[in-house]
């Protein structure tokens, strides 16, 4: 039986020291190392894909200076002021006395300027093609000739030269057409072999290596059987920008403009694909379709450039690398800036090809490798801490 005292003690309220205290309304402090607010993350991501203004400015200035120097310097030097006046006089509705003779105007408009513009287009095409291939294969050593474009174009041009095909209609001539078709044929075979096996980037890369080896062997055999045309074939292989008139510029411009716009538009997919195929698929990207479109675009750029200029090495690998080292690894930045930097690089290299040796012209592929390799080595060494 319970005593009255025990009942009173049981019914008494708990001491205030153990009573639950009301919680304050102030928010809890965020733990150390917590994730930033969403707005800060969005601003950081947006800034990561913004092309630095200084990089754009330097690239455009180099391109403009290279174009002006290219049309001014040569065996027949044209005054810098005369060149500027002549270019302005060619604009619709502008009349300026440039002081150029009729012969000098012909040199400017039918020789120097078309060659400079062609060099800019070829450089932009090769640099963009290399940037896209490096993104598609996630391989920093990829270049525009990875899937056999060079080998196929070389075989096509060699066959056209051996057979003496000199026919053509308007701007369509046999050697460029054969080189273009040979490059596309090689890439097509590599695509069928690569995508038909496992649809992976690795299988496509291996197929390209096999096709390139086969086409190179065929070209070597044809050259050995026709030794009298070796000089002409080697001149084409080492690259050249010799042109008179605007026909080659008209052939290449649609490829650079259309394919370049598609490559820039798909650059954000390249950024996502760097995470891996499974992660990109989880984020809503059809990796197989995007990869196929990008391979076609990059191959068209490379084949079109090779068909009018021959094989110019080193542009498609060092220019995207240099841009990546300077401005970062996002392909939204690398692809468009590579086009401008590649155009400037090849125009400046062509000035050296025309003027380094008196009375002769060096193959432009030799100049790009001779000056491009040390420049890239210095850039790589000075920025080795920021390699990505």
Summarize pLDDT for 176-219 with one digit per residue, the tens.
889 999 999 999 999 888 876 566 778 888 899 999 999 999 99
Which one-letter DSSP state was computed for residue 113?
Answer: H
Length of the chain measured in residues: 388
- For residue 100, give the H/E element and its range: none
For residue 240, how far is the Cα from the chain centroid? 20
Q: Which of helix, strand or coil describes residue 214?
A: helix
Task: Look at residue 357 in the predicted model and tell me its pLDDT.
Answer: 85
Contact 222, 341 (CB under 8 A): no
Which one-letter DSSP state was computed for residue 108?
Answer: I
Residue 122 to residue 374: CA distance in whole angstroms: 22
The residue with greater pLDDT, 12 or 221, is: 221
Phi, psi (deg, nearest 5) at residue 242: -65, 120
Q: Which of helix, strand or coil describes residue 74?
A: coil
Which pLDDT band holds residue 166 (cuts at 50, 70, 90)? Answer: low
Question: Average of pLDDT values for 68-89?
Answer: 83
Question: Average of pLDDT values for 135-148?
Answer: 88
Count CA within 13 A, CB hemisphere, residue 56.
6
Contact 283, 268 (CB under 8 A): no
Smallest Cα–Cα separation from 98: which of 71, 67, 119?
A: 71
Q: State the sign of the Cα–Cα–Cα–Cα dihedral 296, 298, 300, 306.
A: negative
Chain segment 14-61, per-residue pLDDT in tens: 444 444 445 445 444 445 444 444 554 344 444 445 557 888 999 999
Task: Look at residue 93 in the predicted model and tell me its pLDDT.
Answer: 77
Residue 283 to residue 52: CA distance in whole angstroms: 27
Which one-letter DSSP state was computed for residue 23?
Answer: P
Residue 61 to residue 353: CA distance in whole angstroms: 21
Helices (H), strands (E): how many in the chain?
17, 2
Task: Look at residue 247 in the predicted model and tell me its pLDDT.
Answer: 87
Locate 213 and state its tokens.
């080896």
Question: Average of pLDDT values for 53-71?
Answer: 91
Domain ranges of the chain: 114-386
Residues near 291 by beta carbon (within 8 Å), at least 6 away in sequence: 136, 201, 204, 273
Question: Average of pLDDT values for 245-269?
Answer: 93
Chain segment 84-115, per-residue pLDDT in tens: 888 888 788 778 877 788 888 888 898 999 99
Task: Look at residue 198 in the predicted model and tell me its pLDDT.
Answer: 62
Percent of residues, the chain, with pLDDT higher than 70: 82
Using only C-alpha atoms, the chain has a radius of gyration, in whole angstroms, of: 30
* CATH code of the domain occupying 114-386: 1.10.3470.10
Model's pTM, two decimal places? 0.82
Phi, psi (deg, nearest 5) at residue 169: -130, 115
Q: Quick one: 349 exposed, middle or buried, by C-beta within 10 A (0-12, 13-18, 19+)? A: buried
Which pLDDT band holds residue 8 (cuts at 50, 70, 90)? Answer: very low
């Amino acid at each position: 039986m319970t005593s009255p005292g025990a009942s009173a003690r049981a019914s008494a309220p708990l001491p205030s020291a153990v009573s639950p205290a009301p919680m304050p309304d102030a928010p809890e402090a965020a733990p150390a190392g917590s994730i930033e607010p969403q707005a800060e993350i969005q601003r950081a991501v947006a800034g990561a894909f913004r092309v630095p203004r200084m990089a754009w400015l330097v690239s455009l200035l180099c391109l403009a200076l290279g174009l002006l120097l290219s049309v001014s310097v040569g065996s027949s030097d044209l005054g810098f002021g005369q060149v500027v006046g002549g270019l302005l006089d060619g604009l619709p509705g502008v009349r300026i006395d440039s002081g150029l003779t009729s012969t000098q105007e012909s040199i400017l408009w039918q020789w120097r300027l078309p060659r400079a513009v062609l060099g800019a287009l070829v450089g932009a095409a090769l640099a963009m093609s290399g940037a896209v291939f490096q993104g598609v294969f996630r391989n920093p050593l990829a270049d525009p000739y990875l899937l056999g474009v060079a080998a196929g174009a070389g075989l096509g041009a060699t066959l056209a030269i051996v057979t003496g095909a000199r026919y053509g209609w308007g701007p369509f001539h046999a050697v460029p057409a054969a080189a273009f078709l040979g490059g596309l044929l090689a890439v097509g075979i590599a695509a069928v072999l690569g995508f038909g096996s496992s649809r992976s980037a690795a299988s496509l890369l291996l197929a390209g290596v096999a096709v390139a080896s086969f086409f190179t062997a065929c070209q070597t055999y044809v050259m050995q059987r026709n030794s009298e045309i070796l000089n002409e074939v080697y001149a084409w292989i080492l690259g050249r920008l010799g042109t008179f008139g605007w026909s080659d510029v008209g052939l290449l411009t649609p490829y650079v403009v259309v394919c370049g716009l598609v490559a820039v538009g798909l650059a954000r997919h390249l950024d996502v694909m760097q995470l891996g195929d499974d992660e990109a698929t989880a984020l809503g990207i059809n990796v197989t379709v995007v990869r196929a479109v990008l391979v076609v675009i990059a191959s068209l750029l490379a084949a079109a450039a090779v068909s009018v200029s021959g094989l110019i090495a080193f542009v498609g690998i060092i220019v995207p690398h240099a841009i990546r080292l300077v401005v970062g690894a996002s392909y939204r930045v690398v692809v468009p800036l590579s086009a401008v930097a590649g155009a400037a690089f090849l125009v400046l290299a062509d000035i050296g090809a025309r003027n380094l040796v008196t009375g002769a012209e060096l193959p432009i592929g030799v100049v790009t490798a001779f000056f491009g390799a040390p420049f890239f080595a210095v850039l790589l060494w000075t920025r080795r801490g920021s390699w990505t």
